[in-house]
């Protein structure tokens, strides 16, 4: 777990799972795959064929959030997808138990697999399993029934283009969760989020970065900003992208856009 992050919309990262496999055009130049190969954490391409070898569970990391006392926004699995097909339900239960034990933090869960997420999220015996996992992690029983959805867990989906948005957002917006968000990164084309904005709490947008980065048209970003402004939804512009790092903060029409859901204020104090 990293206390501090270069990802502008979070404060820290926590990776109880690492490794992934590509599921959409947005995965073509995945930064996590690039880093994993650079440091030798995985050696095979992040394809479905190699997912069994590349996706690794880290039970030794489940208690890491318990060491942090001051409120943080924690991006869960910056180096994977928590709802990857190779992650068993029993391990998901333990990950969410770890979150349940530290309600002073906000956990930002972002997935490209909303169908898998929904199947676990809506399981009628999920709360009982998480409660049992809490007892195992903390070696104590909960003093009160576990609330669901957890008020400090935000759930988001990635959507790099309109096709992806049309596939992912109807699933996300049907799930009960404290905060729903969409990450339009890497932004690969124009997007219309208006059909779902009344059920979204946050929109993040950004261009692709690193070698081979595909261009991001400023008008695509402007359109998302304007849609969010009209709907009263916070908008966070992360980066223009490209082969070199952005200036900080990246500017759109002469200003930075780094809006955060109001729910964060309740935790930040």
Residue 254 lies in a domain: yes
Residue 1 lies in a domain: no
Terminal CA-to-CA distance of the chain, rounded, Å?
Answer: 23
Cβ(134)–Cβ(146) under 8 Å? yes
Instruction: Give the pLDDT confidence score for residue 248 in this predicted structure.
Output: 81
Q: How many CA atoms lie within 13 A of 172 on its CB side?
A: 33
| Domain interval for residue 112 | 7-268
pLDDT digits (tens, 9 = 90+) for 149-184: 999 999 999 999 999 999 999 999 999 999 999 999
- Supply angle C-alpha 30, 34, 40, rounded to 5: 140
- Residue 255: CB atoms within 10 A of its CB come to 9
For residue 240, tell me if it sits in a domain. yes
Orientation angle between helical segments 89-100 and 126-138, nearest 10 degrees: 60
pLDDT of residue 268: 66
Q: Which residues, other chains included, contact 40 with Cβ-Cβ below 8 Å and sequence gap of 6+?
A: none
How far apart, in Å, are the Cα atoms of 214 and each of 8, 20, 111, 175, 240? Answer: 20, 21, 21, 32, 10
Predicted local distance difference test score (pLDDT) of residue 99? 96
Candidates 123, 135, 124; CA nearest to 98 is 135
- With 0-12 / 13-18 / 19 or more C-beta atoms within 10 angstroms meaning exposed / middle / buried, residue 143 is exposed
For residue 2, tell me if it sits in a domain.
no
For residue 266, what pLDDT is reported? 78
What is the reported pLDDT for 151?
96
- Alpha-carbon distance of 24 to 4, in angstroms, equals 28
Q: Give the integer Cα–Cα distance in Å for 10 and 32.
A: 16
- Asked whether residue 26 is assigned to any structural domain, the reply reads yes
Could you tell me if residue 166 is inside a domain? yes
Asked whether residue 105 is assigned to any structural domain, the reply reads yes
For the chain, list residues with pLDDT below 50. Answer: none
Model pLDDT, residue 208: 96
Question: Is 209 inside a domain boundary?
Answer: yes
Structural domain tally of the chain?
1
Instruction: Report the alpha-carbon distance of residue 202 to residue 248 in Å, rounded.
Output: 21
């Amino acid at each position: 777990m990293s206390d501090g992050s270069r990802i502008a919309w979070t404060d820290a990262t926590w990776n109880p799972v690492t490794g992934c496999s590509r599921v959409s055009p947005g995965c073509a130049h995945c930064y996590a795959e690039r880093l994993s190969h650079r440091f030798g954490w995985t050696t095979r391409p992040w394809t479905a064929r190699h997912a069994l070898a590349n996706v690794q569970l880290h039970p030794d990391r489940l208690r890491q959030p318990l060491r942090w006392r001051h409120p943080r926004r924690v991006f869960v699995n910056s180096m994977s997808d928590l709802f990857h097909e190779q992650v068993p339900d029993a391990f998901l239960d333990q990950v969410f138990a770890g979150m349940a034990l530290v309600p002073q933090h906000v956990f930002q869960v972002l997935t490209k697999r909303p169908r898998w997420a929904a199947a676990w999220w809506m399981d009628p015996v999920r709360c009982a399993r998480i409660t049992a996992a809490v007892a195992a992690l903390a070696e104590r029983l909960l003093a009160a029934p576990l609330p669901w959805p957890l008020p400090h867990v935000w759930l988001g989906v990635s959507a790099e283009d309109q096709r992806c948005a049309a596939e992912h957002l109807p699933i996300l917006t049907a799930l009960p969760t404290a905060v729903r968000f969409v990450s339009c990164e890497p932004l690969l084309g124009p997007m219309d989020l208006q059909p779902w904005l009344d059920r979204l709490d946050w929109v993040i947008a950004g261009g692709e970065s690193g070698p081979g980065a595909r261009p991001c048209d400023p008008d695509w970003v402007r359109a998302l900003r304007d849609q969010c402004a009209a709907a009263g939804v916070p908008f966070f512009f992360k980066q223009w992208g490209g082969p070199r790092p952005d200036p900080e903060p990246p500017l759109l029409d002469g200003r930075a856009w780094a809006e955060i859901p109001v729910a964060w204020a309740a935790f930040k104090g």
